[in-house]
Amino acid sequence: MKRGEMRQGNLKPVLAVVVAVLGLLLGPKADANADANAQQLSDVGVGPPEGTITVVMTGLRNNQGVVRVALFGSPETYNNDHNVGMGSFRKVVVPVVHNQAVASFSEMPYGDYAVKAFHDENNSGKFVVGTFGRPKVEYGYSNDARAAFGPPPFRRAKFTLAQPNLSVQIESQTKCKKGK
């Protein structure tokens, strides 16, 4: 080995030590400054604006079971949830009372969202479909976006939370009659 050269195998431990030393020297001060800044902002009530989204699903044919409501914050998660709310920002299960269900999502950052909901009469947790993928459950989307060969795109179901309280109404949809 020539003077000034270092074997590649010896380089990793040296870099690890350098990174550790820098972290010890800079870390506590950087962390303290970040904590102090965060505390100052919270003391004066400054932070990202938040609100409450209340989802009301109406027109349900009975009071059996529950309604499963999923709130999505991006087209990617909305499009890949497999009809069970996978990847949703938040999801809740609410009772059906007087043929409607009400779900509330509090402390939501302002922004764009979309809702998918379905009436799970037997509380199975499954979005049941029949022949040719036609739903056998009542379902709905924000903006009352209509489904045709699958859920409507995020852009049609999207709404914007930009105020402290927002109510989203969803009218129940169904493609198959009960028992079919």
CATH numbers and ranges of domains, the chain? 1-47 (no CATH), 50-171 (2.60.40)
User: What pLDDT is recorded for position 141?
Assistant: 96
Q: How far apart are CA 104 and CA 113, in angstroms?
A: 14
User: According to DSSP H, which parts of the chain are helical?
Assistant: 8-43, 75-79, 154-157
Length of the chain in terms of residues written? 180
The residue ranking higher by pLDDT, 36 or 114, is 114
User: What pLDDT is recorded for position 100?
Assistant: 97
- pLDDT of 38 strictly over 60: no
User: What pLDDT is recorded for position 87?
Assistant: 79
Predicted confidence (pLDDT) per residue in 41-81, tens digit:
444 456 689 999 999 999 999 999 999 999 999 999 998 87
* Pair of tokens at residue 76: 């990617």
Strands 50-58 and 165-171: parallel
Q: Which of 128, 145, 137, 122 is nearest to 176 (CA)?
A: 137
Model confidence band, residue 174 (pLDDT cutoffs 50, 70, 90): confident
Question: Side by side, which strands form the sheet with 50-58?
Answer: 101-109, 50-58, 165-171
Q: Which of 180, 153, 155, 172 is nearest to 61 (CA)?
A: 172
User: What pLDDT is recorded for position 150?
Assistant: 82
Q: In the beta sheet, which residues pair with residue 93?
A: 68
The predicted model scores a pTM of 0.70
Residue with tokens 């962390």: 31
User: What pLDDT is recorded for position 48?
Assistant: 81
Report, as an integer, the average pLDDT of 155-159. 97
Contact of 129 with 135, CB cutoff 8 Å: yes
User: What pLDDT is recorded for position 83?
Assistant: 66
Q: How far apart are CA 55 and CA 114, in angstroms?
A: 11
- pLDDT of 90 strictly over 50: yes
Buried b (16+ CB within 10 A) or exposed e, 83-109: bebebbbbbbebebeeebbbbebeebe
* Pair of tokens at residue 57: 């699903």
Report, as an integer, the average pLDDT of 117-135. 90
User: What pLDDT is recorded for position 80?
Assistant: 84
User: What pLDDT is recorded for position 177?
Assistant: 46
